[in-house]
Amino acid sequence: MKKPFLTSAIIASYLLCDSFSPLSSVSGPNNIEPQTSSQKLNLLYNPPPQRKQPKATQRSGSGSRSRCQATNLPQILIAPAFHTGQTSQSHPSFSVYFPEVPQLPVSVSVEDPKNQKDVWLSEISVKKAGITTFRLPSYVSGLEIGKEYIWTVALICERRNRLQDIYAEASIERIEISEKLKQKLSTAPNPQSLAAILASEGLFYDTLNQINKISTTTERNALLNSLLEQINLVGVVSIK
């Protein structure tokens, strides 16, 4: 997808989900309750030892002087800001924060920057402000091990001129995990333990996926807030 002229940079990091199919099942925002000290659980996100500078940092821009001028966005992608987030999944999930309900169509894509090709390009419906999650659908080719991709969320200002889009993009890399880690994950008793293991191994997107599976609201929100603190997102993404 062609990108518009960049006008500003935005830095953020945060959530992910695995509980739905492609476009029709895009979720609404996740509301996170305030965290108390007694709710804190042991989760330490340990970034990959070989931290790659992202091919795409969180950024947004638009050359539009008309329809897009009235919006208070940009959107914030939930992804590491200073290194490329990793996943072990061929069809991972992605999350984006909207400070308000977008009044423009929302386009999402996953691109192979080396070949300059979209792995997937579609549109999603965002009906509530907050965090919205979508997943790379199973009917498209999955991410390849050892490759870095760029995922983008764009507000379509003018369909006839996509250079006017307001967009944000971030990087993701799929890696192969060791047999030792696979065994460790297979014996984890619950999503909380899985999330802790994945976080310690630097698998950012997989960690968020597991956190979102936790059924107990208090525990899920505590882990999400813990992760937010570790990536310095407090005050950037407004959770109500």
Q: Which of 53-62, 175-184, 200-209 has the highest mean pLDDT?
A: 175-184
Give the range of the structural domain holding residue 123, as residue numbers without chain letter. Answer: 8-31+43-230
Two structure tokens written together for 101: 């309900």
* Domain contains 216: yes
Q: Are 96 and 75 in contact (CB under 8 A)?
A: yes
pLDDT for 80 beyond 90: no
Cα 187 from chain centroid (whole Å): 27
**Left, alpha or beta for 191 (phi > 0: left; psi -120 to 50: alpha)?**
alpha
Instruction: State the pLDDT at residue 140.
Output: 95
Tell me what pLDDT residue 163 has: 85
Tokens representing residue 206 in the block: 């997989």
The string of DSSP codes covering 55-117 is SS-SEE----SSGGGG--PPPEE-S-SSS-EEES-SS-EEEEEESS--SS-EEEEEEETTTTE
* Residue 203 predicted with pLDDT over 70: yes
The mean per-residue pLDDT over the stretch 190-211 comes to 92
Q: Is the pLDDT of residue 70 over 60?
A: no
Average pLDDT, the chain: 77
In a domain, 189, yes or no: yes
Q: How many domains does the chain have?
A: 1
**Selected residue with higher pLDDT from 153 and 52:** 153
Residue 6 CA to residue 8 CA, distance in Å, equals 6
CATH number at residue 131: 2.60.40.3080
Q: In the numeric block, which tokens belong to residue 4?
A: 């518009």
Q: What is the pTM of this model?
A: 0.77
Residue 237 lies in a domain: no
**In the structure encoding, which two tokens stand for residue 150, read together?**
């760029």
Tokens 């919006």 found at: 71
